[in-house]
């Protein structure tokens, strides 16, 4: 079955710097890749997603890139702010899973003011 | 209404109790999900309902019993739970399970089993 690996597990950056989180997946037929942000005690919140027919997607300070050949996708956050501090989860949707998501183990991002 | 709501927010129960978790969405979504999340771990899929029918049960113990009374509501009935079942229980919904699969999560119910 699909397996998603996420790195790093923790990431500390200075406010204003960029942060990059990387995920790799094993099933080349996976076709949907969302990213969720989860603040302490809160729900996972979708922040951006990308489908396999697109290589890059941006939303203000957040971007996601997808390399289907290498089977990896990355989350890029520019001009980080303290409120970006949270746990970020990547996920992949394999074909035939009928909507089921396979999550990575998460990255705890700390943005220091 | 663009939210998934869950009640209660917190629940403490003994191992002999019976309780229910409730989830509601009014976005017209036809797929609803129950996840279990332990601290510092990703959400773990438990059940999936599609068009009010149970389509996936990820080998969850029978002490957890899901129910989908209608397209907007999802319940999780709890009975004879164990302390290791203590976790955050998240409900999610998506428009369907095919083309539009973006899942939106509720705030969760934090369950403590004593």
Classify residue B97 by its DSSP letter.
S
Q: Alpha-carbon distance A102 to B107, whole Å?
A: 20
Select from A95, A109, A96, A93 the least CA-distant residue to A34. A93
Residue positions counted in chain A: 113
Q: Above 70 in pLDDT, residue A110? A: yes
In angstroms, the CA A97 to CA B60 distance is 18
pLDDT, residue A68, reads 94
Nearest Cβ partner of A46 from B97, B104, B106? Answer: B104
Contact A90, A101 (CB under 8 A): no
Put simply, the answer to whether A44 touches B90 (Cβ < 8 Å) is yes
Q: Which of residues A95 and A59 earns the better pLDDT score? A: A59
Residues of A in contact with B56 (CB under 8 A): 98, 100
Chain A residues whose beta carbon lies within 8 Å of the beta carbon of residue B107 = 42-43
Q: Does A29 reach chain B within 8 Å, measured CB to CB?
A: no
Most B CBs within 10 A among A52, A91, A99, A101, hence the mutation to make, goes to A99
**The predicted structure's pLDDT at residue A94:** 83
pLDDT of residue A12: 98
Per-residue pLDDT tens for B15-47?
Answer: 889 999 999 998 999 899 999 999 999 999 999
Tens-place pLDDT, residues B41-99: 999 999 999 889 998 777 899 999 999 999 899 999 999 999 999 999 999 999 876 66
A94 touches chain B (CB under 8 A): no
Question: CA A85, CA A111: separation in Å to the nearest integer?
Answer: 5
The mean pLDDT of A75-82, rounded to a whole number, is 98
Compute chain B's Rg from CA coordinates.
13
Flag whether pLDDT at B1 surpasses 60: no
């Amino acid at each position: 079955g699909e397996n998603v690996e996420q790195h790093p597990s923790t990431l500390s950056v200075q406010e204003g710097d960029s942060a990059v989180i990387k995920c790799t997946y094993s099933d080349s037929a996976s076709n949907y890749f969302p990213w969720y942000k989860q603040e302490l005690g809160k729900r996972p919140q979708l922040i951006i997603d990308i489908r396999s027919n697109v290589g890059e997607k941006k939303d203000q300070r957040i971007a996601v890139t997808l390399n289907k050949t290498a089977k990896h996708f990355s989350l890029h956050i520019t001009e980080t702010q303290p409120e970006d501090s949270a746990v970020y989860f990547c996920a992949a949707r394999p074909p035939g899973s009928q909507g089921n998501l396979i999550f990575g183990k998460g990255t705890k991002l700390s943005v220091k003011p | 209404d663009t939210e998934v709501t869950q009640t209660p927010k917190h629940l403490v129960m003994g191992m002999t109790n019976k309780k229910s978790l409730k989830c509601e969405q009014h976005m017209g979504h036809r797929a609803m999900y129950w996840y279990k999340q332990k601290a510092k771990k990703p959400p773990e899929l438990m059940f999936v309902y599609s068009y009010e029918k149970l389509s996936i049960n990820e080998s969850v113990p029978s002490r957890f019993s899901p129910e989908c009374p209608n397209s907007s509501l999802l319940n999780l009935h709890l009975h004879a739970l164990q302390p290791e079942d203590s976790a955050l229980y998240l409900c999610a919904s998506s428009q369907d399970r095919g083309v539009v699969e973006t899942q939106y999560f509720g705030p969760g119910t934090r369950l403590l089993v004593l």
